[in-house]
Amino acid sequence: MDYNKLAELLFPQITRTPEDYETIYPPRDLPEGAKVTRLGPSPTGFIHLGNLYGAFVDERLAHQSGGIFYLRIEDTDDKRYVEGAVETIITSLDFFGIDFDEGATVDGSVGEYGPYHQSERGEIYQCYVKELIKKGQAYPCFLSEEEIAKIREKQEQEKQNPGIYGEYAACRDLSLEEIQSRIDAGQSYVIRLRSDGNQDPEKARTISVEDGIRGTLSMPENYQDVVILKATGIPTYHFAHVVDDHLMRTTHVIRGEEWISSLPIHVELFEKLGFEMPVFCHTAQLMKLDNGNKRKLSKRKDPELSLDYYRQEGYLPEAVREYLLTILNSNYEEWRQANPEAPADDFPFQAEKMSNSGALFDLDKLNDVSKDVLVKLPASRLCQFMKTWSAEFQPEILPLFEGHEDYIEKILDLGRSGKKPRKDLVYGKQIFEFIRYFFDDYFRIEDAYPENAAQDAKIILSKYLETYDHNDDQGQWFDKIRAIAEELGYAARPKDYKKNPDQYKGHVGDVSTVIRIAVMGRSQSPDVWEIQQILGEERTKARIQARIDA
């Protein structure tokens, strides 16, 4: 076989050589030890937590080492392409503070190693496929879908490994004349890798790869003649990422553990193309507890897998970032305790400290972390976030925030001072639900009066209204409540009631709860006196009177 003739027959339009591309995309001028990482999502319309999880690893490895982090859109699968998906990917990642140094943007591309959309790199891939053809390391395959289906059926019946290899690689040794004849006849074909691997497990070479997270991975070599270029001239993921990671000078590839089974194919492609292999870092799958059992997060079952979920719910990006770092590195929480005020980016992230046995994602833990993050933020920052979030996801409440910033900041600051600040605020939707009683249009009675004070509720409120003075300090205010309690037969202190429950109707806490429900509509809330100071005298009295009249 004259492989040069075959290469020209298949790719007459390709005139550039691999050497040309080595010149166009030279090694990067970076400090020693600097890492180059990439995120390579597919524009399928679904950007998920796994993308963000991997992006954090990419970003930390690159930026901690003085390297480069870039975005490459892997859009070679046109059947799964969704209009507007690229913009969704970019805006979603931007929302969570993922900063790329180069790559695809909403307005095009930035950087010297593009194009950063794989769909625009067709000639580059075909150049390298042509080179493999010249070396006899790839070949055209004319097997139809029907023929492949029959092969698969036979392999299933005989309990053989599926795929095209050995006796099933029917086009592996076609002559140049046969290939020419089939092309002239208009037969469709793909290009397959001519694997050197041995399909006999006893004779197969064992390959070892140093994984950046898992250490040494050992497995049998590849023996499959996998497709590297589809009939459309578009490469498969296997081939495209190998070429791109080389030419874009990627040093570390972070991807999910589901790709470990494909590693032998990628090792063979790197070897045949003569490229230095990057460090592969296979991350653990994101798991969740379901009825006490761990399972993989599911697009169908778990809305929290989608990044849209966190935006719509109104999670602060800093909170999500903080939580993911607790999953990514086992020593992050210890570091955070020792450095409570330090920016998260100061944490010395290490790929070696990542879990390789399934990273457990816990929404309750995220909420706890979010409380810790939000309690440290200035009310002005939270107010701005609520305006931005509501403008996009709950526009009907935006007028409550815009132009009323001083009022909102007082509300958001409630109970957040002192040695033990309250941690009531979690995410946008929850924050609004938590503070809704401050807005008359959203105020409603949610809880019932305490059972042992319900019969006295109107009397309690009437006496409270008679003695109410908005200028009372907190001590004076509570003394009046205590006096009302005693007058109506309630213990002035809960401990007195606990000692002699038969002597009292209840205690002062029951009386104050009646007032709390009248003013806030709830039996649980931050300090009532502080809330009344924010609501103002007129609105406080109006709410009390409304419950008396009800």
Report the catalytic residues.
Answer: 299
CB atoms within 10 A of CB 310: 22
* CA quadruple 166, 169, 170, 176: dihedral sign: negative
Residue type, 538: E
E strand or H helix at 133, and its extent? helix 122-134
Of 249, 275, 277, the closest CA to residue 113 belongs to 249
Phi and psi for 61 in degrees, rounded to 5?
-60, -45
Best CA proximity match to 208, nearest among 219, 197, 196: 219
Angle ∠(316,393,427) on CA atoms, nearest 5: 30
Alpha-carbon distance of 543 to 550, in angstroms, equals 10
Instruction: Report the SS3 class of residue 219.
Output: strand
State how far the Cα of 42 lies from the Cα of 383, in Å rounded to an integer: 35
Query: What does the radius of gyration of the chain's CA atoms come to, in whole angstroms?
Result: 33
Cα dihedral sign for 479, 481, 486, 491?
A: negative
Q: Is the dihedral of CA 520, 522, 527, 528 positive or negative?
A: positive
Q: Find, among 221, 225, 252, 218, the residue nearest to 239 by Cα.
A: 225
The torsion defined by the Cα of 149, 154, 157 and 162, in degrees rounded to 10, comes to: -70
Interatomic CA distance for residues 59 and 69, integer angstroms: 6
From 413, 410, 328, select the one nearest 369 (Cα to Cα). 328
| Eight-state DSSP code of residue 484 | H
User: Residue 71: enclosing H or E segment and its boundaries?
Assistant: strand 68-71
Q: Which residues of 381-397 are buried (b: 16+ CB within 10 A; e: fewer)?
A: ebbebbbebbeeeeeeb
Torsion of CA 17, 18, 20, 22, to 10 degrees: 180
Q: Which two tokens stand for residue 458?
A: 């109107």
**Helix spans in 274-378 (H):** 307-313, 317-328, 332-338, 363-375
**Residue 398 and residue 314 in contact, taking contact as beta carbons nearer than 8 Å:** no
